Structure 1
Amino acid sequence: MAVPFKQYPAAYESFLYEFHATRDYFECHELLEEYWKEHPGDPLGPTWVGLIQLAVGSYHHRRKNYRGALKMMRHCRQRLTSERLRELGLEGAALLALAEERIAALERMEPFEDIDLPFADQELLARVMQTAEKEGQRWGASSSMDDQLINRHTLRDRSGVIAAREAAAKAKKR
């Protein structure tokens, strides 16, 4: 019996594509953060945040910011659960084991290595791999050490985010 097609949020499928095809972890964070903020009260909210932290931790690790990467990976590990990851078509226990391995590697200050998220939903995997092929990207290739990818946060216009944070801080003081 064939497993029925499962619909996932487009932002999530884009996250998976970026995570494995372009290795643009900053973009991964941006995609899911926007989705998460647009869906307050989503029962998967903590899982979205955990995946965002996984991407941010990977971004920091690639930049050799071991302290920031370790902090993000520990937070990621606290938020993610095997059951919720399974709802998102991933092998939850395997992903949690990868997070633990990454935490241990960061504690030893080992060099960055890309990780591939383990998929339970093979149709989801096929769709995002097909997107990579259409975009001319190689699925699962190692990260480019291109400066524009490594230092993405310094090269993008973040004035809107900064203004929103300042407004929230002012509102909090009131």
Structure 2
Amino acid sequence: MYPKEYIEFLAHFNGDRDYFECHEILEEFWKDSNEREKDSIWVGLILLAVSRYHHRRGNFIGANRTLEKAITILSLKAGHQGNLGLDLGILFPLLSKLLTQIQKEERYQSINLPVSDHILLKACLKKCNELEIIWEQNSNLEDEYIVHKHKLRDRSPVIVERMKALKNKGSG
């Protein structure tokens, strides 16, 4: 019913708050999908995760810019592509409040995406159990790896893939 990547996204978003991982999971799913539209609902969710990542790191400009884009996309697409098991009556006021907090440069606080579909919630809890993540825990601001993941992660697989792409481009 829901893509497994979306379930994993929600497990991380509402669980360990690994927003960088949320971005990676949905970006890969979006790239593999047939649509690849820049205003896809998946892009809206990716931008939301990126905004949370920036906000937690104190990058208010990046957080504001990406959240504004996320809200625009999600507002346009949510009605057309379904609500993805989220309570939109809670989601949009929550995002609006979050945008105000970012614009006032208020300190990051964890938020939960309001999962309203019981089947989706059950799938998310199962995924959290598999990943050993606690659902709806607050962000661990002491976890340097999650807070600064883009700087601390192992980039060697990405570098290898880029080198392969450059080599293929040069021989093509």
Coarse TM-score class (shorter-chain normalised): 0.7 to 0.9
Q: Percent identity?
A: 36
| TM norm structure 1 | 0.83
Q: 2:120 aligns with which of 120, 124, 129?
A: 124
Greater alpha carbon shift after TM alignment, 62-71 vs 155-164: 155-164
Cα gap change, 1:139 to 1:84, in 2 (>3 Å): farther
Q: Which residue of 2 aligns with 1:72?
A: 66
In 2, the alpha carbon distance for the partners of 1:95 and 1:71 equals 18
Q: CA RMSD in A?
A: 2.5
Report the Cα offset of residue 92 of structure 1. Answer: 2.0
1:32 aligns with 2:1: no
Q: Which residue of 2 aligns with 1:133?
A: 129
The number of residues matched between the two structures is: 162
Greater alpha carbon shift after TM alignment, 153-162 vs 112-121: 153-162
Cα gap change, 1:157 to 1:137, in 2 (>3 Å): closer
Deviations 1:69-121 (A, max 9, x none): 01110000110034257441111232121111111001110000111011121
Counting only pairs closer than 5 Å after superposition, residues 1-174 of structure 1 correspond to structure 2 as 7-41=1-35, 46-81=40-75, 82-84=78-80, 86-145=82-141, 146-158=143-155, 160=158, 163=162
Cα gap change, 1:80 to 1:10, in 2 (>3 Å): same
Task: Answer 1 or 2: higher relative contact order, Cα 8 Å, separation at least 6.
Answer: 2
In 1, the alpha carbon distance for the partners of 2:138 and 2:98 equals 16
The answer for unaligned runs of 5 or more in structure 1 is 1-6
| TM norm structure 2 | 0.83
